[in-house]
Amino acid sequence: MWKVIVLGCGPSLGVPVIGCKCSVCMSNIEFNKRLRSSLYLQYNHEISILIDSGCDIRFQLLRANITKLDAVILTHPHSDHIAGIDNLRVFTYQNGCSLDVYANVETVDYITKNYSYLFERNLLNAIKIDDYGTVNIKGKEITTFQQNHGDINSLGIRIKNFVYSNDVRKFPRKSYQFLSKIDVWMLDCLQVIATDAHAGLNEVMQWNEQFMPKKIYLTNMNHTIDYYGIQPMLSRNIALAYDGLEFYI
């Protein structure tokens, strides 16, 4: 059984936003405090996988008491998903071998160019994967599929009947096959109204009706999303994720 920990469910600026005095940023509600989006997956205390490594990752790993990693998957090369990659070299020191970092061609090219010292010194090991493919990590298969994220593509991730779709605006028709029979779907909802690169609430509702997942957790939410304020607008199977949320798949 896989354990899932939401390390962060916030957008590129996080919540609260520096200098903002809106009601969400000033809120004392812990569910309205969101670090950059990242996910931790653990299989039976044997396999540990990190999805994305933004600039909050050191604090996120310490807060969740995560001391072991076997592999990392990066969904795309935007800063809020890769800027903490230097912190991951500690797991190479602990493991005694280079930590594997899986990403598509564009992301691998970006990180090996901009963080070249990590790879030239074998502190991390970059492994290119297809947008549509399967990653085998210590005998467990993880499926990746393409998502449209504005002017670039991001990777969607599926493990069994769990799907992680952070930073997505649209799904190519070829990706529909990965969106059926979902038990738990973590899905981008930056704000109520969609942007060029991120889904909004209307898109979430449409995909909920189209693909009929059992459960949706909204993620990547900015400071216009109040945890309790938006709940009445949601279908019964849709809830907001929050930093520290844990569940099993």
- Please give the average per-residue pLDDT across 141-163, as a whole number: 98
- Please give the average per-residue pLDDT across 9-31, as a whole number: 98
User: Whole-angstrom Cα distance, residue 54 to residue 181?
Assistant: 30
Nearest Cα to Cα of residue 35 among 57, 62, 14: 14
Would you state the pLDDT for residue 54?
98
User: Whole-angstrom Cα distance, residue 53 to residue 71?
Assistant: 12
Give residue 145's pLDDT band: very low, low, confident or very high (50, 70, 90): very high
Q: Which residues pair with 170 in a beta bridge?
A: 148
Q: Which domains does the chain have, with CATH numbers?
A: 2-248 (3.60.15.10)
* pLDDT per position as a tens digit, 184-229: 999 999 999 999 999 999 999 999 999 999 999 999 999 999 999 9
Residue 219: phi, psi to the nearest 5? -140, 175
* pLDDT per position as a tens digit, 59-118: 999 999 999 999 999 999 999 999 999 999 999 999 999 999 999 999 999 999 999 999
Relative to beta strand 2-8, strand 246-248 is: antiparallel
User: Whole-angstrom Cα distance, residue 212 to residue 163?
Assistant: 13
- CB neighbour list of residue 167: distance below 8 Å, 6 or more residues apart: 37, 75, 76, 78, 81, 147, 149, 154, 188, 197, 198, 220
Would you state the pLDDT for residue 109?
98
- Please give the average per-residue pLDDT across 168-179, as a whole number: 98
Would you state the pLDDT for residue 57?
99
Would you state the pLDDT for residue 164?
99
Give residue 50's pLDDT band: very low, low, confident or very high (50, 70, 90): very high
Q: What is the mean pLDDT of the chain?
A: 98
Establish how many alpha carbons lie within 13 A of residue 189's alpha carbon, considering only the half-sphere containing its beta carbon: 27
**Mind giving me the DSSP string for the chain?**
-EEEEEEE-B-TT-BSPTT--STTTT---GGG-BPBPEEEEEETTTEEEEE---TTHHHHHHHTT----SEEE-----HHHHTTGGGGHHHHHHHTSPEEEEE-HHHHHHHHHHTHHHHHTTSEEEEE--SSEEEEETTEEEEEEEEEETTEEEEEEEETTEEEE-S-SB--GGGGGGSSS-SEEEEE--BSS--SSS-BHHHHHHHHHHH--SEEEEES--TT--TTTSGGGS-TTEEE--TT-EEE-
Q: If 0-12 CB within 10 Å is exposed, 13-18 middle and 19+ buried, where does residue 59 land?
A: middle
Would you state the pLDDT for residue 184?
99
Question: Terminal CA-to-CA distance of the chain, rounded, Å?
Answer: 6
- Please give the average per-residue pLDDT across 45-64, as a whole number: 98
pTM: 0.97
Would you state the pLDDT for residue 217?
99
Greater confidence, 169 or 45? 169
